[in-house]
């Protein structure tokens, strides 16, 4: 039986998934910004985003569940109605738990892709994968792994060359909802952030260390 990581407010999570049977999630360039538009609609109300990458057949996200939003409780008798106030008191108000926001994102995107490309059935593997971030070192290694994912899969030679990740946003001055100030702070400064992303790494060793 697969153990599903619960989503708890105030915690950092690595959220990732791939297309069912490794099929492509993003078929045309237009699909990438559309997914991010839906992401903004469904996920920003419940989570802060620190890093992301969209690959043709999979994606990775680093998020923190906001305080005072719904709590994902796996064994609650009515998990769709659990809400956690900042005080920590449970209030059964009928609002959706955080995992449902992610599910709604994936379902909405699937419906759009199925309609556009005349396909049927599931697009993403279920359940979507989530892993609790347990240390500062894990956090930094995960950011490097996410931004270098296109390099590992030979789509480019440097993260700056790939348009569908948060790397360019992290080193930009343009307004963004990405929490890039915190990301740069974890690497001390922008210069070290760039330096660390240029270091060679063994993706298989990193995946094993991250327990993916």
Q: Rounded to whole angstroms, what are the CA distances from 145 to 1, 134, 200?
A: 28, 16, 11
The reported pLDDT for the residue numbered 95 is: 57
Task: Flag whether pLDDT at 83 surpasses 90.
Answer: no
Domains defined for the chain, CATH in brackets: 12-209 (3.30.70.1290)
- For the cut 80, the answer to whether the pLDDT of residue 73 exceeds it is no
Tokens representing 12? 């950092």
Residue predicted with more confidence, 5 or 64: 64
Tokens 């064994």 belong to which residue?
A: 75
pLDDT over threshold 90, residue 85:
no
> What pLDDT band is residue 13 in, cutting at 50, 70 and 90?
very high
pLDDT averaged over every residue in the chain: 86
What string of H, E and C letters represents the secondary structure of the chain?
CCCCCCCCCCCEEEEEEEEHHHCCCCCCCCHHHHHHHHHHHHCCCCEEEEEEEEECCEEEEEEEECCCCECCCCCCCCHHHCEECCCCCECCCCCCCHHHHHHHHHHHHHHHHHHHHCCCCCCECCCCEEEECCCHHHHHHHHHHHHCHHHHCCCCCCHHHCCCECHHHHCCCCCCCCCHHHHHHHCCCHHHHHHHHCCCCCHHHHHHHCCC
Distance, CA of 15 to CA of 63 (rounded, Å): 7
Query: Could you tell me the pLDDT band of residue 207, with boundaries at 50, 70 and 90?
Result: confident
pLDDT (0 to 100) of residue 78: 46
pLDDT digits (tens, 9 = 90+) for 99-113: 889 999 999 999 999
């Amino acid at each position: 039986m697969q153990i599903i990581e619960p989503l708890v407010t105030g915690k950092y999570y690595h959220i990732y998934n791939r297309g069912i049977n490794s099929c492509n999630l993003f078929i045309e360039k237009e699909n990438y910004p559309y997914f991010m538009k839906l992401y903004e609609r469904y996920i920003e109300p419940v989570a802060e985003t620190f890093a992301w990458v969209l690959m043709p057949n999979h994606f990775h996200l680093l998020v923190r569940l906001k305080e005072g939003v719904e709590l994902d409780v796996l064994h609650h008798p009515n998990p769709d109605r659990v809400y956690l106030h900042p005080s920590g008191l449970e209030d059964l108000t009928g609002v959706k738990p955080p995992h449902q926001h992610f599910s709604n994102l994936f379902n909405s995107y699937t419906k759009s892709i199925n309609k556009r490309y005349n396909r049927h059935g599931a697009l993403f593997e279920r359940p979507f994968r989530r892993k609790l971030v347990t240390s500062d070192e894990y956090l930094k290694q995960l950011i490097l792994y996410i931004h270098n994912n296109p390099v590992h899969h030979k789509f480019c030679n440097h993260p700056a060359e790939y348009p569908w990740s948060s790397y360019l946003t992290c080193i930009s001055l343009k307004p963004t909802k990405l929490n890039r100030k915190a990301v740069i702070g974890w690497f001390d400064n922008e210069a070290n952030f760039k330096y660390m992303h240029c270091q060679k790494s063994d993706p298989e060793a990193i995946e094993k260390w991250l327990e993916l």
